[in-house]
Structure 1
Amino acid sequence: MASPLKVSVVAADHEVWSGEATMVVARTVEGQIGILAGHEPLLAMLATGEVRVTQVGGSVVTAQADDGFLSVENDTVTVVARQAELV
Structure 2
Amino acid sequence: MASITVDIVAPDQTLWSGTARSVTAPTVEGSIGLLPHHEPVLSVLAVGVVAVVSDDGSRTELPITGGFLSFDHDTVTIVADPGSGVAAS
In structure 2, the residue matched to 1:17 is 16
In structure 1, the residue matched to 2:64 is 65
Identical-pair percentage:
47
In structure 2, the residue matched to 1:53 is 52
Aligned AA (1:79): I
Give the superposition deviation at 1:65. Answer: 1.1
Aligned pair count?
Answer: 85
5+ residue gaps, structure 2, are none
Give the superposition deviation at 1:66. Answer: 1.4
In structure 2, the residue matched to 1:39 is 38
- Supply the distance in 2 between the matched residues of 1:62 and 1:82 (Cα, whole angstroms): 14
Question: After alignment, is 76-85 or 65-74 more displaced?
Answer: 76-85
Q: Stretches of 4+ moved more than 4 A in 1?
A: none
In structure 2, the residue matched to 1:79 is 78
Higher strand share: 1
TM-score (norm 1): 0.92
TM-score (norm 2): 0.90
